[in-house]
Amino acid sequence: MGRGERARDDHRNFGSRIRETMSTMFVLGLTGSLGMGKSTTAKFFAEEGVPVHDADASVHKLYEGEAVPLIEAAFPGTTAGGKVDREKLAKQVLGNASAIKKLEAIVHPLVAEVRERFLREAEQSGAKVAVLDIPLLYETGGDARCDAVVVVSAPAEVQRARAFERPGMTEDKFTAILAKQMPDAEKRARADFVVDTSQGYGAAHQQVRDILARVAKMRGPAD
């Protein structure tokens, strides 16, 4: 489990990270590859009363709001009815590195603004812990914004079976998605905590409770 195993005995180190950020709120990054059960794990955190920021949901909202005129200006003909047409946009950017960079230059700052607003509001509400649910957390360097990272994982055969339960999933699509994601083994090695969903979601929910209990100890009695 790598850092995940060591996290249990590293409370002081985490405490210093919190103080360095001058924040009283512990920020947990949540990530996991396709079919690992990340979205369900995010719901478990929410059910425990923890504010959760869904990065994918934020992008969807931006593609129906603030980002629409900016994307239309940069990629004419990719919006309709006040929304970004993802298929049309994909045709213009996929396989085009400069187009992808142009799109990221538009979307990433907006996503970051939404994320920071979420964190401010969560802290102002008195939350002791907040979760940033970001699929490509490590790939985009988002872990630097977190006090610790939770990786949701399962054996490869379980991942594959779940992925192919999704509508429209094909072998090519599955391979393409995994190619964009850091290998699960590397994520696990870098994680502070690992939630194994292969034993059922009841067991996974208990792992979430255990993580929150450990985070409470990491934060220390002064918090």
How does pLDDT run across 194-223, given as a tens digit for each residue?
999 999 989 999 999 999 999 998 875 544
> In the numeric block, which tokens belong to residue 78?
């990719």
Q: What is the largest CA-CA distance in the chain?
A: 56
What does pLDDT average to over the chain? 88
Name the DSSP letter for residue 75: S
- Alpha-carbon distance of 151 to 32, in angstroms, equals 5
Residues of the chain with pLDDT under 50: 1-22, 222-223
Site of tokens 């999704």: 166
pLDDT in tens, 175-201: 988 988 999 999 999 999 999 999 998
- To the question of pTM greater than 0.85 for the whole model, the response is no
- Alpha-carbon distance of 175 to 166, in angstroms, equals 14
CATH numbers and ranges of domains, the chain: 1-51+129-223 (3.40.50.300), 56-126 (3.40.50.300)
Quote the pLDDT of residue 23.
Answer: 58
